[in-house]
């Protein structure tokens, strides 16, 4: 099991501070959040009665600080995708370059690239293994969900237990996501808070109205393999 610091939020503090600063300066944009009576809720214990969670963390998934997930689909095989925070931050993708089936990847290698506003952003592999499948329809499937069919590529691994130990469990990831969300909620009060109480849901690609170069820098920072 991955050793988590006492304050998980601090492991990528600079990236989250960038997110917070941008979003706090863009409260009017956040007021465009969709309203839904079926707002998603985390399934963590004690969550009853709390505000709907902004970022979904499903059971059975494992998570990496680069905001990617790994889901076991066989004894020694995992599918990899972007988690819900990254999914909502990135928004619609123009193109995706996926790894070659049969190629070997080490954790931290550039595994895929996505095109955003004419610029390419690297995605780093959260685990080591050999590519056994890719999902060319990912950009369409990722429009509606971060999980399930929205996987990027599949890796066959040598030791699935080691993979699990080096990633966050869904329980640990809920704490990690909750800390980021709590800070964002704390800095996003007033009218935005009233909207959230009505069941607001974050818009897909919520930060795209900042300057393109700043937005791309923010995305690259959040998805970086450097803590």
Q: Do the domain assignments include residue 3?
A: no
Q: Do the domain assignments include residue 2?
A: no
Tens digit of pLDDT for each residue in 175-218? Answer: 998 887 776 666 555 433 433 333 455 666 666 666 667 767 87
Cβ atoms of 54 and 181 closer than 8 Å: yes
Mean pLDDT (the chain, rounded): 75
Q: Do the domain assignments include residue 227?
A: no
Top-confidence range, 32-46, 167-181, 210-224: 167-181
Q: What are the backbone dihedrals phi and psi of residue 78, each rounded to the nearest 5 degrees, phi first?
A: -130, 140
Q: Do the domain assignments include residue 136?
A: yes
Tens digit of pLDDT for each residue in 143-158? Answer: 778 999 999 999 999 9
**Which phi-psi region, left, alpha or beta, contains residue 49 (left: φ > 0; alpha: ψ -120 to 50)?**
left
Structural domain containing residue 204: 8-222
Grade residue 37 by pLDDT with cuts at 50, 70 and 90. very low
Quote the tokens at residue 190: 């007033």
Instruction: Give the percent of the chain with pLDDT over 70.
Output: 62
pLDDT, position 194? 39
Q: Is the pLDDT of residue 59 over 80?
A: yes
pLDDT, position 89? 84
Pairing of strands 129-134, 95-97: unpaired
List the CATH number of the domain containing 141.
2.40.50.100
pLDDT, position 226? 63
Q: How many domains does the chain have?
A: 1
Alpha helices in the chain (DSSP H): 13-24, 27-30, 84-90, 138-141, 160-165, 170-187, 191-197, 212-222
């Amino acid at each position: 099991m991955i050793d988590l610091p006492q304050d998980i939020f601090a492991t990528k503090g600079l990236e989250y501070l960038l997110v917070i600063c941008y979003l706090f300066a863009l409260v009017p944009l956040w007021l465009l959040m969709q309203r839904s009576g079926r707002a998603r809720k985390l399934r963590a214990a004690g969550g009853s009665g709390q505000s709907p969670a902004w970022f979904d963390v499903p059971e059975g998934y494992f998570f990496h600080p680069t905001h990617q997930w790994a889901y076991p689909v066989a004894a020694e095989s995992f599918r990899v995708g972007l988690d819900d925070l990254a999914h909502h931050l990135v928004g619609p993708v123009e193109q995706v370059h996926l790894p070659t089936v049969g190629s070997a990847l080490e954790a931290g290698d550039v595994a895929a690239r996505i095109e955003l506003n004419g610029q390419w952003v690297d995605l780093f592999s959260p685990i080591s293994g050999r590519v056994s499948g890719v999902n060319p329809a990912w950009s369409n499937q990722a429009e509606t969900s971060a999980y399930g069919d929205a996987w990027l590529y599949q890796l066959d691994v040598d030791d699935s237990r080691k993979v699990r130990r080096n990633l966050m469990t869904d329980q640990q990831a809920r704490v990690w996501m909750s800390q980021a969300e709590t800070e964002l909620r704390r800095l996003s009060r007033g009218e935005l808070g009233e909207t959230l109480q009505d069941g607001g849901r974050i818009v897909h690609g919520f930060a795209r109205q900042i300057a393109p170069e700043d937005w791309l820098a923010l995305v690259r920072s959040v998805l970086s393999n450097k803590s």
